[in-house]
Structure 1
Amino acid sequence: MTIDVPQEILDALTDVDMPRLPPETAPSGAVRLAGIEVPVYRAGCVVVGSGAAGLRAAVEMKRRGDDVVIVSQSAWGGTSACSGSDKQTLHTANTADQGDNYKAMARAICSGGAMDEDTAYVEAVGSSRMMASLQFLGLPLPQNPFGGTLRYQTDHDEVGRATSCGPRTSRLMVKVLAEEAIRLKVPFYNQTTAVKILTEGDRADRHVVGILVMRAGDRTEENPLGIALFVSGVIVLAAGGPGELYRDSVYPNGCFGSLGLALEAGVELVNLTESQFGIGTRREGFPWNLSGTYVQAIPHIYSLDAEGAEYHFLAEYYRSTQELASNVFRKGYQWPFHATRMLDFGSSLVDLAIYRETAAGRRVFMDFNRNPLPVSGDLPFSLERLDDDVRLYLGNADAGQQMPIDRLKHMNPLAIELYRRYKIDIAEQPLEFAVNNQHMNGGIMVDTWGRSNLRGCYAVGEAAGTHGVTRPGGAALNTGQVFGTRAAEHISASSKAKQAAGEDITATASAGIIALLGALHTESPLAVKSIRSEIQARMSDRAGIICDEEGVSSALIEARKLNAEIRNKGVAYGRAAEAVRGVQWRHMALASEAVLAALDFFIRNGGGSRGARAICDAQGESLPLAHSGPLQEYRFRKERQAHREEQIVVWLDGDEIRLSTRRNRMFDEGAKSFFERDWPAWLTGGIYDLEADE
C-alpha cells in the first residue's frame, strides 16, 4: 500500500504563506532625550516577539479589551515560523485509544526533574483548550473518521500524545494566530528590536515603565540609530531562545532571544543548564531537525574525510547490523541526546558517534537510497531482522518497502517535499547533517501565570524557563500557547493594560539611552564578528553535549573576561544595522556567561549527566561501550537524585552573575476542587493572586 496524496495538498502543507502586515500606527509624539529626537509610542502592553507564543498572548489580550502592541525584530522570521517544530504534544481523547489523564500527562512532562509540578499540571490541563482553539482558528490537526485526533509517539513520550500537520506545524500555528491578530487590529511594529527594558522603583517595588527599541523606520539624521521609546507598564517577553549561542545550531540565523535583555533588567533566570541537542541539518543551508520519519526510514549514515574517503563509522559502535539499524530508527522518538542513552548500546550512541566524526573533521551524511551497510562479520540489513519495537512500528505503518527513500515517501512524503523547497532533493542526493543545539529548556523564571520577579514583566514560549530537564517533543509549542493565554488572562484581570500608558518617563528613558549609547563605540576593537566567533566556538566546543569540569570552568573565566572587555571598551559598529547587532551580541555575551556560570555551579556541586549533556569524569560511574571497546574518554557521572528536586536560579547583581538554588514547586494530586467553595475566587479574580503585584 502506498499513500497517494495529491501534490496540491503537499504544496499547501509545505509552502505556507504568511499574511501581510497592516500599516504601522504612527507614534503619539516625540521627545528630545540624551540629545536625540526620539519617537514615543504608548501602549497598555508591549509583546516582544511575533512567534506563536507572543501572538497567542496578544490575541488573548485584545479579545479581553486590552491595549496591546507587538514589536518584532523580523515578523515571521523566528523559530516557530521558520524552524522544525513539526508537532504539538497535547492531552488528546484518542491517546492510547482509551482517553488520557491530566495528572499522568503532568507527571510525564516533569518526569526529568528540575521542573515545577504545578507548571506541568497547568500545561496538561491547558492543552485541550489550546488544541480546540487552534482548530477553531483553522489549524488542520488530523483526525480519524470518528473525530479522534491522530497521534503518535515522540521524544520522552511513552504514551503517544503528539499530533502534527506535517513539518510546518508551528508555521501553520503562527499563520492562523497572525491572521487572528490582524483581524482583531493588533498593531505590529516590524524591524523593531528591543534593546533595553526601563524600570523604576527599588527592590520589591521595582517595576516596568517602558522599553527602548531600535527601528529601521525611525532612523533620521537626528536619530541615526532609530532609537524609539515604547511607554508601557506591562511587557511580555516572547522572543524565543538564544539560538545564536552555539556555532552548531539548528536555529534560524538571527535568533537572539531575550535572556541578556532580561538579565540586564534584573530579571531572574532559571535552569540555564538545560537545553536540547540532536541531529539536524546545518544552519548554513536549511536548518531542520532530523527526527521522526527521517530516521525511522532507516537511511544509511556515513562520513567523508577531506580526501572523499567514506567511513561506515556507526559499525564501530554497534555490535550487529540489527542493533545499528534499530537505534537509527529510535532517533525518531528519542531525538534529543541524553547521556543515559549512550549506555547499553542505546540511541544516543548515534549522537556521540556523529559528534566524534565532526570533531575529527569529517562530514556526516544520510543516504536515503541505501539501506544501512552491515556491521563487519554480521548479516546484511533486513527488515525482518530488526528489534521488536521497530518491526512492529514499521509493520503498523505498512512501511515494508525495500529502500529508505520509498519507506519515507510512504510514511511522510512531506519530509521530502520540504527539502525540495530549499533545493535539496533527498530522493536524489545524500543529506549532510550534524549534532546541533536546538532548544533552551531554561529561561526566565516565571510563576503559573507567566509572571517574572520584575513587576509588569511576563515571559512566555521559549523565553520562559518552564521546561525542566526533559520534555516530550512538541510540548514546547503547547507550553507557549498555554502560557500565552495564562499571561493574557492575568494581565487583563489586573486592568493594567486596558488603555495606553500615559506616564512621563523621560528621565528614566534618557538615562537608558545614555547607558545604551555608552556600550557602543565606533572605535572599539571589539567587533561583532569576533565576539560572535568567540562565543559560539566556546559554547559549542565546551558546553555542548560533552562537558567536563575543567573545560566549563575555563570557558566561564574566558566569558567573564569578554564581558569585562565589552563593559570597558564597548562594541564597535559602522552602520546603524551593525549597532543593533552590537547590542544583541552584548546581550548574548551576558547570556553566555550566565549559562556557563550555571553549568559550572552545577558541576562543582556534584552535578551529573542528564538531559542535554554528559558530564565526563575519569571517576564517573557510567561507561559507554562500543563495538570497538569501552569509550573511556566518555566515562561520565550519574545524575544525583537531589538535583532533580531543585532548580538553579541566576541573576545579575551589578556586573556579577549570582546563583542560588530553589526547590521545585509541588502540586498536590490529591487536592480536589469544590464548585460552591471555589467559584467565588473565580468571580472576584482571587485566582490571579493580584495582591502580589501591588
Structure 2
Amino acid sequence: MALAVSQEILDALTDVAMPRLAPEPEAVEHVTLGGFTIPVRRAGAVVVGSGAAGLRAAVEMKRRGVDVAILSQSAWGGTSACSGSDKQTLHTANTKDRGDDFLAMAAAIGAGGAMDEDTAYIEAVGSIRAMASLQYLGLPLPQDDLGGTLRYQTDHDEVGRATSCGPRTSRLMVKVLAEEALRLGIPFFNQTTAVKIVKEDGRVAGVLAIRPRDAGAANPYGLALFPCASLVLAAGGPGELYRDSVFPNGCFGSLGLALEAGLALTNITESQFGIGTRREGFPWNLSGTYVQVIPHIYSVDAEGREHHFLADYYRTTQEMASNIFRKGYQWPFHASRMLDFQSSLVDLAIFREGQKGRRVFMDFNRNPLPIDEPFSLDRLDADVAGYLRSAGADHALPIDRLRHMNPLAIELYKRYKIDITRDPLEFAVNNQHMNGGIEVDIWGRTNVPGIYAVGEAAGTHGATRPGGSALNAGQVFGTRVAEHVAARGGAAPGALAEGSAEEALGEVLRVLAPEGGGLSWKDIRAEVQARMSDKAGILCTAEEVSGALAEAKALNGAIRDRGIALSRPSEAARVLQWQQMALASEAVLAALDHYIAQGGGSRGARAICDPEGESLPQSVRGPLADVRFRAEREEDKQSQLIVRFEGGGMVISARPNRRHDGAKSFFERDWPAWLTGRIYDHGAPSP
C-alpha cells in the first residue's frame, strides 16, 4: 500500500519555487582602467556564490552589521539549488534512536582521514545551531509526534545521523536562506562572474567581475569592480572539470581563480564518484530509495541487445540484489568496496560497460534477472531484508516499492519529462563532489588575509565524508566566517586600489585573444573534460596520470603563450572560466601524480591500479587482474597535500592534520577570550 501523501504535498516538496530578486542598486561611481570605463560598487564584504553556504555567510554578516553584497553567475542555478540525490541530508548531533555526543560525531566526520580534527569537531558542535536556525527560517525538517527529528543512515555513517525533507532538501535550504537575504536587503548581483581577485599589499582589495548588463561601447566586456575588505569564495565545486558529471551545467567553482590569487588548495586529489543520471538530461544522484527498491540493472549495446552484465560479477542473485540495495547508503565509489563482492563492484561493472560503449539503464518495472535462483524478497541478506520489512516494502515490483517508500523520487523525474513508472532510466558513474578545495583554518580564513572560503569551495571534507555533511559544513562555516568578519572590522566598504585593479585587468586581457589568434575555449573544454574523465576517474594508473599531467601542463603553456580566442565580447567570461578550469585541472593532476609517485594508495575517490598492488577484486568469473590496486596506507590518512601555483607551475607540499586534543573548556578561565575577541585570533593559517 502506497503512503497516504496527497499530490498537493508531493508538489510542494518537489516544485520549489525560488524568490524573485530585488532590483540591483545602480553604480554611482566609475573608474577608467586600461582604457575601459568600469562601474564600481563598494562593499565591506563580497560573497561569490549564491548557494546554501554563500547565502548563510551573507545573511549572518548582514545580521552583524557588515555591508555585504552577493555576486552570482546564475541565481538559483548552482549545485545546492539544482542538484542532489534521492535523500539530500543535513547532519544533526543526534541519532535516530539514542543519544550521541560531539566527539563521537566528529570522529565519524573525520573517519576517512586527511581531515583536520578541529574542523570535524567544529562541524559537529555547530550542527545543532545550523539545523535549528534553518528550522527557524522555515526549513520543513520532518519530526515525529514528540518533536524528535526523523533520521536515517547514510554514506560513511553507520549510526544514522542524517535527516531530509526529500529530494529537494538543499533547494529548500537555498530558498529559506535567499528569502532571509532578500528580507535583510542584501544587494544581489546576478549574471555576474568573478574573474580576478584584486590584492593590495598582500591582502584582498576587491574582485573584478564580468556582467553583461554593464557592457557598452566604453566597456565591451561588461567589466565591473567590487572593492571590498573581505571576500568569501562560495562558488561551489569544479563541476565542469569532468565530462561524466552530475553537476548542473556551468558549475566552474573557484579553484582556478584561487590559484591565480596565491591561495593554497588542499586535498584536491579527493572527490566523490557514483551512479547518477547524465548532465545532458537531468543530473541526479541515484542513491537512497532509487536503488533500495532493487530495480533491474542492464546495459544495451550498439545493436540494441540487452546485457545482464552484473551476472558477470556477482555469484548469486541474492548477493547481486543485496549490493544494489546497499548503494542506497554506500553510494560513493570506494576502492575497498570492490573487494569481497561488495557494493562498489556495482560501480566498477557499470563503469566498464560504459568503456565498452554500452548504455546502462535501471528498470523499475522489472526485478533483477536471476543469476542462480529467481529474485525474491525472501532471499536477501539480513540487513537488506530487515530494512525493507521495517519500511513495509513487500511489493512485487520495484516501482511499487518506490511508490510506497518514496513517491517524491518518482515525482522529481516527472518534472523533467522522465516517467520512471513507464520507462527505464539511463545512468552512469559520474563525478559528483570535490572533497578538497581551498585550504582554510578554523574560521574559514585562507592564507591570503581578508579572503575566506566556505561550502564545497573549501577543502574541509577529508578523503571521505558522511553523506550530507557537506551541507552542514557550509552552514557551520558560513556562520563562523560571518562572526570573524564582523569581529575583525570587515564591516566598512572597501577602498579603491586603482593600481592593483589595473594590474589585475591587465592579466585578464592577456588571456583574451582576437578570433583566430588563440586557442578555442570549446577545444579546451573537450580536452580537459575528456582527460579528467578518462585518466583521473575511478580507475587510475601512475603512467596515465603522469601522462595526463604532462598534457595539462602543455595546454596551460599554450594558453599563456597564445591566449584564448574571442569570437565576440560576450564570450569573455566563458573564456576566462575555461582558462581557470584548465589551471585547476593541472593542479588536481599534479597533486594526484605526486600522491601516486609517493606510494599513495586507493581510497574513496579512486582506485590506484597497480600490477603489484595488494588488493585484487574478484568476480564470479575469476580475478579482475586489470583492476588490482594499491591499498590505502594508514599514514596517508594523517596528512594533507597542499598545492600552490607559483612561478607558472604547481608546488606540492604536505602538512599533518591539525589535532583536537579534546581539552575541556572552563567557564571562568575561557570567558575573557570570548569577551575580548581573542578567540578570533586562534588558528590563523600560514601566508
Q: Give the structure-2-normalised TM-score.
A: 0.99
Alpha-carbon distance in 1 for matches of 2:92, 2:523: 46
Q: Is the 8 A contact 2:324 2:346 kept in 1?
A: yes
Which AA in structure 2 matches 1:583? Answer: L
Aligned mate of 2:506, from 505, 514, 520: 514
Partner of 1:127: 127
Specify the SS of the correspondent of 1:314: helix
Map 1:149-164; keep pairs closer than 5 Å: 149-164=149-164
**1:133-158 CA distances to partner (integer Å, 9 max, x unpaired)?**
00000000000001100000000010
CA distance in 1, matches of 2:569, 2:243: 25
- Mapping of 1:247-646 within 5 angstroms? 247-375=243-371, 378-496=372-490, 498-501=491-494, 503-522=495-514, 523-646=516-639
CA distance in 2 between counterparts of 1:394 and 1:651 reads 49
Task: State the alpha-carbon separation in 2 of the partners of residues 464 and 18 from structure 1.
Answer: 26
Task: Give per-residue Cα distances to partners, 1:305-348, cap 9 Å, x unaligned.
Answer: 01100000000000000000000000000000000000000000
The structural deviation recorded for 1:217 is 1.1
Q: Tell me, in whole angstroms, the C-alpha distance in 2 between the residues paired with 1:442 and 1:152.
A: 26
Provide Cα deviations, 1:603-644, integer angstroms capped at 9, x if missing partner: 000000001100000000000000111100000001111110
For the Cα contact (< 8 Å) 2:93–2:105, is it kept in 1? no
1:246 partner amino acid: Y
- Which 10-residue stretch deviates more, 172-181 or 95-104? 95-104
* 1:525 Cα offset (Å): 3.8
Shift of 1:4: 1.3
Contact 2:441–2:683 (Cα < 8 Å) also in 1: no
Does the residue aligned with 1:352 lie in a helix, a strand or coil? helix
Matched, 1:233 2:225: no
Cα distance in structure 2, aligned partners of 1:57 and 1:620: 45
Please state if 1:207 is matched with 2:203. Answer: yes
Cα contact 2:241–2:585 (8 A) shared by 1: yes
The one-letter code of the counterpart of 2:119 is: T
Q: Give 1:149's aligned amino acid.
A: T
Amino acid at match of 1:681: A
- Counterpart residue number, 1:173: 173
The CA deviation at 1:270 is 0.3
Which consecutive segments of 4 or more residues in structure 1 shift more than 6 A?
A: none
What pairs with 1:180-191 in structure 2 (closer than 5 Å)? 180-191=180-191
Q: CA deviation at 1:462?
A: 0.1
Equivalent residue of 1:161, what SS? strand
Structure 1 SS opposite 2:566: coil
Aligned residue in 2 for 1:193: 193
The alignment partner of 1:428 has SS state of coil
Equivalent residue, structure 1, for 2:79? 79
Say yes or no: does 1:686 pair with 2:687.
Answer: no
Q: How far does residue 92 in structure 1 lie from its aligned partner after superposition?
A: 4.0
Distance 1:513 1:574 in 2: 20
Write out per-residue CA displacement over residues 467-489 of structure 1, whole angstroms, 9 at most, x where no aligned residue.
01110000000000000001000
Which moves more between the two structures, 520-529 or 342-351? 520-529
Aligned-residue Cα RMSD (Å) equals 1.1
Cα deviation digits, residues 88-120 of structure 1 (max 9, x gap): 242344x14112111101000000100000000
- Listed as ranges, the gaps of 5+ residues in structure 1 are none
Counterpart CA distance in 1 for 2:651 and 2:401 is 52
- Once the two structures are TM-superposed, the CA of residue 691 in structure 1 deviates from its matched residue by 10
Offset, 1:277: 0.1
After TM superposition, the structure 1 stretch with the greater mean CA deviation from structure 2, 276-285 or 570-579, is 570-579
How far apart are the structure 1 equivalents of 2:266 and 2:666?
Answer: 34
1:499 offset after TM fit, Å? 2.1
Q: Distance in 1 between matches of 2:225 and 2:96?
A: 52
User: Residue 125 of structure 2 aligns to a residue in which SS?
Assistant: helix
Work out whether residues 28 and 42 of structure 1, in 8 Å CA contact, stay in contact via their aligned partners in 2.
Answer: no
Deviation at 1:495, TM superposition (A): 1.5
Q: Is the 8 A contact 1:42 1:500 kept in 2?
A: yes
Name the amino acid aligned to 1:192. Answer: T
Choose from 636, 651, 657 the match for 1:658.
651
Distance 2:584 2:297 in 1: 35
Shift in Å at residue 577 of structure 1?
Answer: 2.9
Amino acid at match of 2:89: Q
- Count of matched residue pairs: 684
Deviation, structure 1 residue 228: 0.8
CA contact (8 A) 1:245 1:536 kept: yes
Letter in 2 for 1:557: A
Task: Please name the residue that 1:648 is paired with.
Answer: 641
Whether 1:52 aligns to 2:34 is no
Whichever residue aligns with residue 511 of structure 2, its letter is A
3-state SS of paired residue (1:211): strand
SS in 2 for 1:436: strand
> For 2:282 and 2:684, how far apart are their aligned partners in 1?
45
User: What's the counterpart of residue 245 of structure 1?
Assistant: 241
Counterpart amino acid of 1:672? K
Does residue 676 (structure 1) correspond to residue 677 (structure 2)? The answer is no
CA distance in 2, matches of 1:331, 1:654: 44
Q: Name the structure 2 match of 1:136.
A: 136
AA aligned opposite 1:402: A
Question: Is 1:66 the equivalent of 2:66?
Answer: yes
Q: CA deviation at 1:576?
A: 2.7
Larger mean Cα displacement after TM superposition, 23-32 or 609-618? 23-32
Asked whether the equivalents of residues 493 and 685 of structure 1 are also in contact (C-alpha less than 8 Å), the reply is yes
> 1:105 aligns to what?
105
Question: Amino acid of the residue matched to residue 305 of structure 2?
Answer: A
TM superposition shift of 1:379: 0.8
On the 8 A contact 1:68/1:186 being kept in 2, the answer is yes
Contact 1:302 1:312 in 2 (8 A): yes
Question: Per-residue deviation at 1:200?
Answer: 1.8
Q: Distance in 2 between matches of 1:353 and 1:90?
A: 31
Give the distance between the partners of 1:336 and 1:39, measured in 2 at CA: 45
Question: What is the deviation of 1:668?
Answer: 1.0
8 Å Cα contact 2:96/2:150 also seen in 1: no
The residue type equivalent to 1:493 in the other structure is A
Letter in 2 for 1:232: C
Q: CA deviation at 1:2?
A: 2.7
1:464 and 1:46 mapped to 2: Cα distance?
16
Measured after TM superposition, the shift of residue 690 of structure 1 is 7.2
Shift in Å, 1:87:
2.3
How far, CA to CA, are the matches of 2:126 and 2:225 in structure 1?
Answer: 35
What's the CA shift for 1:233? 1.7
> Is the CA contact (8 Å cut-off) linking 2:96 and 2:152 kept in structure 1?
no
The secondary structure found in structure 2 opposite 1:153 is strand
Secondary structure of 1:468's partner? coil
Q: Which moved more, 1:520-529 or 1:101-110?
A: 520-529
SS of the equivalent of 2:448 reads coil
Q: Tell me, in whole angstroms, the C-alpha distance in 1 between the residues paired with 2:484 and 2:77.
A: 28
8 Å Cα contact 1:260/1:587 also seen in 2: yes
Q: Taking structure 1 as reference, are residues 393 and 691 closer, same or farther at Cα in structure 2, changes over 3 Å only?
A: closer
